Structure 1
Amino acid sequence: FSIIGLICYVFAITAPPPPAQTAFWSLNMCMSGSATSCEECLLIHPSCAWCAQEDFGRGRTLTSRCDFSQNLQKRGCAARFIEYPTSSISILQNRPLSSKGSGSTQYDVVQIMPQKISLSLRPGDQTWFGLQVRQVEDYPVDLYYLMDLSLSMKDDLDTIRNLGTKLAQEMGKLTSNFRLGFGSFVDKNMSPFSYTAPKYQENPCNGYKLFPNCVPTFGFRHILSLTDKVDRFNEEVQKQMVSRNRDAPEGGFDAILQAAVCKDEIGWRKEAYHLLVFATDDVPHLALDGRLGGLVQPHDGMCHLNDKNEYSASTKMDYPSLALLGEKLAENNIFLIFAVTKRLYVIYKNFTALIPGTTVEILDQDSKNVIQLIITAYNNIRSKVELTVWDHPEDISLSFTATCQDGKPLPGLRKCADLKIGDTVSFNVSVEARSCPPRGTDQSFTIKPVGFKDRLEVAVDYQCDCGCSRIAQTNSSICSSIGTYNCGTCQCEPGYLGARCECQEGEASSMHLSACREAEGKQICSGRGECSCNQCLCYESEFGKIYGSFCECDDFSCARHKGILCSGHGECHCGECKCHAGYIGDNCNCSTETSSCISDDGQMCSGRGNCVCGRCQCTEPGAFGDTCEKCPTCPDACGTKRECIECRLFNSGRIADNQTCQRLCKDEIITVETLKTDDPGAVLCLYKTDNDCVMKFTYSEHVSGLSILAALQEPECGGGPDALTVLLAVVGSILLVGVVLLAVWKLVITIHDRREFARFQSARSRARYEMASNPLYKQPVSTHFVETDFNMYGKSYNGGVH
């Protein structure tokens, strides 16, 4: 064993029993009385052991050879007679992980460790093993470019005529061993999918004014096998001409399947990443569409290329189903990249959920961005590891715990994302067998990372037989020579009973009937059996099995869910459901699996609810979705989506690095010139940028489950203020306010003066009337003139005196 393998092995052997086993411990299910042989005892519960000692329990009123191992030892069973098998792990092949790929196809690159293990499982006993996966550097890449050559793709064909050289230059930065191939498709050359009139047979574009010449319609045509001579790619592409079909959907799924299964013709290498780029501008035909043209035979999933490398069964079989397509892509380790126009993004995004290992990227109308699209998709593929299980036996339960780059265990997850090339991730796998298969049945399964050639092969052996059964003695004297002595008990011949086959059926003694009563006053054998040879023989029932020392137990009187006993996820033991691993509850209807509750960001129910019975119950008002991931009205919805707007549109913000942005921001973001705010299901969000501009966007959830963010193309920013305009505006405002105040003041003074003048006029009128109306009024002074003449200093003066 390697060091890692030895650690895993020791951990699996010495790990403590799971919590469910501890709960059963106190119930002592082993002593239920249902086990009459060692094999039956081992199937009750993984904690149960069987004592094969001959004289065990003699002289006791209740003897059960099936019990917990320590209880059996306390009751006198020697350790060498105790049958107690446990699950174990053996590592068969454990080559170390490679650190780098190679340009040679003979180089054996290892990306998963270990490669082969063997499990020895006891039913109900849970055990663990670990595995590691690494995306090695400089791994060979095979890329097959599958192009829609219908008439609407003519401008795209002109764009990719020199694609081979440019693509090889870019892929050369990622791998030193790159090969490129080319194929094309249109649709089935039959009605109603294509034009079938005689004049269209050689030229389907006959009479089409915009483009009058094109080649006959074909289903799929393999043009160039994978090669490292990229000039060949350019040469072949330059020879191609478009064709024309009648309806809008294309026959692309026919072409994808042929490109996947025709391994020798395409040239897929075993030790290389297989990339299949599917470029189109329309939707595909799906299974059952072929019935429109009378094709009722389902696709057989086989390669049908003729000597001209054309799909020869195009007009004989229906289009392939999504399930068949996913199966064949996974079987041949092919990563499918949908390169589609923007209007088809949502449709093909839904396809990726149904076809494992596929991605979708938006293709420009003329395919100008096809190289960057391929590089982005390749980096996205290499940034994650996801495990799948092949040929999984129904009676084996598997659960995964992923440990990614941050070192934090993620229970229930079998994938890691945001990885760098060369990173190593580990997974812990819990295994439990629920039952025993028929004897001689070999069981195995395979764990395989999506798109990898590497795999872990797991062989399974079951611990369902006891070692003491190998030395059983027939016609043993211990069993009165009429029975088989096996693991400490006698298996009597028909018609005989008793611990040593000493009694015959029908013999009974009334004085020993008390040995068949559970307690005084209780019915003999609980009313469901007969007392024979001092022991109860339980009746048969059409509902199930009746058992126990006093026939007090059965396997059908337990709680049911939707009419199914113990919900089908447990066993009924003496009126109580004993649930299988991963289920709890009185009727075992509640799953303890939480993987379905983990959201993409690693939180349980996105932090907005609780995981109950394997499903999220959202507690945040307005939250919905399988993991409560959708919540347009949550307080943090706008804030969360703002970070996605910043990183996706402007490459800024807290999560601006490409890997974090791609992992957390999976919503579709569209840019518009004007936001529509009349949608009742959309939430309007806005925030201020660092330049004091305002960015607006809406957030809505569509019925398809896809979140849509509609954002303005650019933030709204006001122009800088003009200083002169501001000055004139301020001065003008002050003058205007002054003039208004003066006018108001003048109006107030005028009104006041007019009132005062009116009051004065009124007083004057009253005074004039009073003077004129007094007839007795006389002037108080009278004036008299007196003339005088006198001489002074020789001069004569004449004057008057008043």
Structure 2
Amino acid sequence: MGKLNWPCYLLFIILFIIGTFSSGLNVCMSGSATSCEECLLIHPSCAWCAQEEFGRVRTLMSRCDLSQNLQKRGCEAYNIENPRSTTRVVKSEPLSSKGSGPTQYDVIQIMPQKISLSLRPSDQTSFKVQVRQVEDYPVDLYYLMDLSLSMKDDLDSIRNLGTKLADEMRKLTSNFRLGFGSFVDKNMSPFSYTAPKYQDNPCNGYKLFPNCVPSFGFRHLLSLTDKVDRFNEEVQKQMVSRNRDAPEGGFDAILQAAVCKERIGWRKEAFHLLVFATDDVPHLALDGKLGGLVQPHDGKCHMNEKNEYSGSTEMDYPSLALLGEKLAENNIYLIFAVTKRHYVIYKNFTTLIPGTTVEILDADSKNIIQLIVNAYNNIRSKVELTVWDQPEDLSLTFTATCQDGQPLPGLRKCADLKIGDTVSFNVSVEARGCPPPGTRQSFTVKPVGFKDRLEVSVDYRCDCGCTHRARANSSRCSSRGQYVCGTCRCDTGHLGARCECHEGEAGAVYQGACREAEGKQICSGRGECSCNQCLCYESEFGKIYGTFCECDDFSCARHKGVLCSGHGECHCGECKCHAGYIGDNCNCSTETLSCVSDDGQICSGRGNCACGRCQCTEPGAFGDTCEKCPTCPDACGTKRECIECRLFNSGRLADNQTCQRLCKDEIITVETLKTEDPNAVLCLYKTENECVMKFTYSEHASGMSVLTALKEPECGAAPDAMTVLLAVVGSILLVGIVLLAIWKLVITVHDRREFARFQSARSRARYEMACNPLYKQPITSHPVETDFSMYSKSYNGATH
């Protein structure tokens, strides 16, 4: 053991303390990088100084730092290894404006077409994708019809479908082709009638319809052609068949129509529509075991010389995943045209099969033409990107910019578009780690249903340029190791920054450099101190590292037993989350795509998106995107618009082609509205004609919203003008007569009272002259007091 060099030792301690405090939250210096490659993996901001004689005292830590810090400390810029992620456009031809004409084979609907990415781990780069639905794009439509017995009236309704449909579709495209195929079910028990008497005629003994053809799985009848009369001819030749159980073998037929490209006649340069018309549910994968079919479907074309599906009685029905994969591979949009009672089932299928829509078919298929046109317009009004063959160590984040020009983070689709509109998507790409050296990977970005695609090739920038200038047995490494990027990689049995020590050498002189602080354990108790540096133990749980073995990659927070939830890397006790995730254990997704409702709002405007899931804040709101809320104040108003556009083709949603997208509730029309369901909300509104429209809004246990509405608004009958006139005149006359009668009655009562009073006065009067109160006597008498005796004498004497 050599003599202790106290000045160097003190300098080392001072620099150690300064570095400890100055590094702070510097993720680069808090890592365990002992080489340039390890430094690049810590964080995208970390750089490595390969300059000789740089950071001699703390070689293992100081070379990995932020680029500006390295330059401040004297590292020349050309000696700093700090590769960045880059994007290079390889092929970018301009978008086309029309789809038909002399250049229809060169139609381009996505730009650019090829991109090359060079990715540094955890460092993001991005590129822009533009998509345009060009005008007058060729259309191939294959009509796949259920020919079981229950579809007999539908077969009669489409006898002349070809001509009518071609006329309607030519309003949308000048290049239209039509094909036809049919299906029933596997011709084996228990799916079909197999008794000898039913071999040639499964309807034998069936009184309502005694004649039909034997059951078959799938039969290709007409390849795609622009001669629509051929379609009518083939349809008129067809007869229905009869199977035993209710479900049909339609998924067998869909898969064959998708993968047998040459037989069907799908064109590469055309828009592919597959219309699937049925009135019942389909058989699914594993149903074939009921008939002893245990071989899974291989996803290949099995058509014999008669253009019939030859694997019907040999393989099971295809799964939904296989069906979706093959439809996407061949750029086919599937349109389920089904009756109302099966709408919910097929609606659930559309969430599992990308590029699929469902429309309600009338019981006799009379609305099939309008149904197809509506579905075509709905499909052409939206653009959605999908990613094929995405490497596991790549993270992709999308931001859509639709017609309103507002960036929508987390979205990879745009709706409510018009033909010819151009939308753009910004795609951010991040590499989570480094594959084996020399690995080149690729993936494809493709709009659903388009033949156009963007091919992206990826290489990784995980190595440093200075690695290629390594010097073996360098004198800077005491001739005992390789000098690489400014550090020594010692040969076996040697240690130290310059390979100056032998394994096993230890002493008190080195012990202080192996402690994180006074009183701490040597090498944190998880390593040995040898030649002034810690040699960390190996662990079955993961890697132990750090200057003092203080770090590891397994002591981080877990979620459901998974380290950093599987969405991050553990660095020295802290989860470093991958792009798109946050939280102490990286269990919270920042992706908002799953929270976006059909109307484009986050959680339907009734909640908040947290960790990729909606938390509904509006009382009564529920559903994955809080889209269901019968008791919300605006529920009746929102559903009113759906009633108007779906039943009467009026209102705000009738003109901008959003009715089918926003109004997915099942609507049942009735003559009389009954509100027996206690959970149903009664809604009513007044129409433009002053009529009253009533409907109820309820949620089924299956989660499907149901609207029950009157077939027609309730309107009062308009009054007859003559009746109103006569009523008004009669009312006036009646009021006049009543008033006269009242006046006559009052006068009569008054007169009778006065007459009675007169009679009473008359009966009490005396009309004799003396007693007449109006007559006065001409002679008055006055009493005089006299002596009567004297008066008598005088009188007598006078008399004499």
Q: Scaled by the length of structure 1, what TM-score is found?
A: 0.86
**Which of 249, 252, 256 is the matching residue for 2:250?**
252
Alignment of 1:716-727 (within 5 A): 716-720=714-718, 723=724, 724=726
CA contact (8 A) 1:105 1:271 kept: no
| CA deviation after TM superposition for structure 1 residue 498, in Å | 0.5
Q: Which residue of 2 aligns with 1:481?
A: 479
Distance 1:663 1:244 in 2: 36
| CA deviation after TM superposition for structure 1 residue 544, in Å | 2.3
For 2:405, what is the secondary structure of its paired residue? coil
Cα distance change, pair 676–729 in 1 and its aligned pair in 2 (3 A): farther
For 1:192, what is the secondary structure of its paired residue? coil
Distance 2:80 2:499 in 1: 23
Q: Which residue of 2 aligns with 1:303?
A: 301
| CA deviation after TM superposition for structure 1 residue 731, in Å | 8.6
Q: Which residue of 2 aligns with 1:768?
A: none
| CA deviation after TM superposition for structure 1 residue 689, in Å | 2.2
CA contact (8 A) 1:103 1:140 kept: no
Distance 1:51 1:464 in 2: 16
Q: Which residue of 1 aligns with 2:648?
A: 650
Q: Which residue of 1 aligns with 2:536?
A: 538
For 1:697, what is the secondary structure of its paired residue? strand
How many residue pairs get matched? Answer: 722
Q: Which residue of 2 aligns with 1:774?
A: none
Distance 2:59 2:124 in 1: 35
Q: Which residue of 1 aligns with 2:557?
A: 559
CA contact (8 A) 2:439 2:460 kept: no
Distance 1:227 1:656 in 2: 33
Q: Which residue of 2 aligns with 1:397?
A: 395
Moved more, 676-685 or 77-86: 676-685
Q: Which residue of 2 aligns with 1:345?
A: 343
| CA deviation after TM superposition for structure 1 residue 297, in Å | 0.8
Alignment of 1:364-403 (within 5 A): 364-403=362-401
Cα distance change, pair 731–585 in 1 and its aligned pair in 2 (3 A): farther
Cα distance change, pair 372–62 in 1 and its aligned pair in 2 (3 A): closer
Distance 2:639 2:50 in 1: 67
Question: Structure 2: which 5+ runs fail to align?
Answer: 1-22, 746-800
Distance 1:375 1:551 in 2: 69
| CA deviation after TM superposition for structure 1 residue 736, in Å | 10
Distance 1:522 1:266 in 2: 77
Q: Which residue of 1 aligns with 2:505?
A: 507
Cα distance change, pair 710–478 in 1 and its aligned pair in 2 (3 A): same
| CA deviation after TM superposition for structure 1 residue 105, in Å | 8.3
Q: Which residue of 2 aligns with 1:589?
A: 587
Moved more, 361-370 or 278-287: 361-370
**Counterpart amino acid of 1:122?**
R
Q: Which residue of 2 aligns with 1:547?
A: 545
Moved more, 402-411 or 358-367: 358-367
CA contact (8 A) 2:118 2:458 kept: yes
CA contact (8 A) 2:394 2:430 kept: yes
**Which of 256, 260, 263 is the matching residue for 1:262?**
260
Residue 97, structure 1, aligned to residue 95, structure 2:
yes
Question: CA offsets, 1:639-665, max 9 Å, x none?
Answer: 121222223323333333141433432
Q: Which residue of 1 aligns with 2:203?
A: 205
Cα distance change, pair 730–192 in 1 and its aligned pair in 2 (3 A): farther
| CA deviation after TM superposition for structure 1 residue 739, in Å | 11
For 2:466, what is the secondary structure of its paired residue? helix
**Which of 460, 463, 477 is the matching residue for 1:462?**
460
CA contact (8 A) 2:117 2:458 kept: yes
For 1:292, what is the secondary structure of its paired residue? helix
For 1:659, what is the secondary structure of its paired residue? coil
CA contact (8 A) 2:378 2:661 kept: no
Q: Scaled by the length of structure 2, what TM-score is found?
A: 0.87
| CA deviation after TM superposition for structure 1 residue 210, in Å | 1.9
For 1:642, what is the secondary structure of its paired residue? helix
CA contact (8 A) 1:103 1:176 kept: no
Q: Which residue of 2 aligns with 1:668?
A: 666
Distance 2:544 2:51 in 1: 27
Distance 1:263 1:568 in 2: 41
Distance 2:739 2:72 in 1: 107
Question: CA offsets, 1:691-723, max 9 Å, x none?
Answer: 332211111122333221111111222234553
Cα distance change, pair 737–507 in 1 and its aligned pair in 2 (3 A): farther
Moved more, 645-654 or 82-91: 645-654
Q: Which residue of 1 aligns with 2:470?
A: 472
**Which of 395, 400, 405 is the matching residue for 1:407?**
405
Alignment of 1:32-111 (within 5 A): 32-59=30-57, 63-103=61-101, 107-111=105-109
CA contact (8 A) 2:29 2:61 kept: no
Question: CA offsets, 1:11-61, max 9 Å, x none?
Answer: xxxxxxxxxxxxxx9721111241111111111111111111121112469
**Which of 683, 686, 689 is the matching residue for 2:684?**
686
For 1:699, what is the secondary structure of its paired residue? strand
Cα distance change, pair 598–737 in 1 and its aligned pair in 2 (3 A): farther
Cα distance change, pair 484–738 in 1 and its aligned pair in 2 (3 A): farther
Moved more, 256-265 or 150-159: 150-159
Distance 1:633 1:593 in 2: 29
For 2:569, what is the secondary structure of its paired residue? strand
CA contact (8 A) 1:444 1:458 kept: yes
Moved more, 145-154 or 259-268: 145-154
CA contact (8 A) 2:568 2:578 kept: yes
Cα distance change, pair 736–680 in 1 and its aligned pair in 2 (3 A): farther
Q: Which residue of 2 aligns with 1:148?
A: 146
Question: CA offsets, 1:201-257, max 9 Å, x none?
Answer: 111111222222211111111111111111221222221111111111111111111
Distance 1:277 1:232 in 2: 18
Question: Structure 1: which 5+ runs fail to align?
Answer: 1-24, 744-802
Residue 704, structure 1, aligned to residue 702, structure 2:
yes
Q: Which residue of 2 aligns with 1:776?
A: none
Question: CA offsets, 1:734-785, max 9 Å, x none?
Answer: 9999999x99xxxxxxxxxxxxxxxxxxxxxxxxxxxxxxxxxxxxxxxxxx
Question: CA offsets, 1:531-563, max 9 Å, x none?
Answer: 211112222223322222222222222222222
For 2:472, what is the secondary structure of its paired residue? coil
**Counterpart amino acid of 2:625?**
T
Residue 215, structure 1, aligned to residue 210, structure 2:
no
Residue 620, structure 1, aligned to residue 649, structure 2:
no
Cα distance change, pair 178–653 in 1 and its aligned pair in 2 (3 A): closer
| CA deviation after TM superposition for structure 1 residue 591, in Å | 1.4
**Counterpart amino acid of 1:638?**
C
| CA deviation after TM superposition for structure 1 residue 277, in Å | 1.0
| CA deviation after TM superposition for structure 1 residue 669, in Å | 2.2
Distance 2:393 2:740 in 1: 95
For 2:442, what is the secondary structure of its paired residue? strand
CA contact (8 A) 2:59 2:487 kept: no
**Which of 162, 165, 178 is the matching residue for 2:163?**
165
Distance 1:199 1:319 in 2: 27
**Counterpart amino acid of 1:402?**
A
| CA deviation after TM superposition for structure 1 residue 176, in Å | 1.5
CA contact (8 A) 1:185 1:252 kept: yes
Q: Which residue of 2 aligns with 1:135?
A: 133
For 1:655, what is the secondary structure of its paired residue? helix
| CA deviation after TM superposition for structure 1 residue 364, in Å | 1.8
| CA deviation after TM superposition for structure 1 residue 426, in Å | 0.6
Distance 2:138 2:553 in 1: 58
Moved more, 164-173 or 429-438: 164-173
Cα distance change, pair 738–481 in 1 and its aligned pair in 2 (3 A): farther
Q: Which residue of 2 aligns with 1:241?
A: 239
CA contact (8 A) 2:439 2:459 kept: no
Cα distance change, pair 654–205 in 1 and its aligned pair in 2 (3 A): closer
For 1:27, what is the secondary structure of its paired residue? coil
Q: Which residue of 1 aligns with 2:275?
A: 277
Distance 1:729 1:257 in 2: 77
**Counterpart amino acid of 2:238?**
Q
Q: Which residue of 1 aligns with 2:578?
A: 580
CA contact (8 A) 1:675 1:711 kept: yes
CA contact (8 A) 1:103 1:177 kept: no
Distance 1:577 1:738 in 2: 100
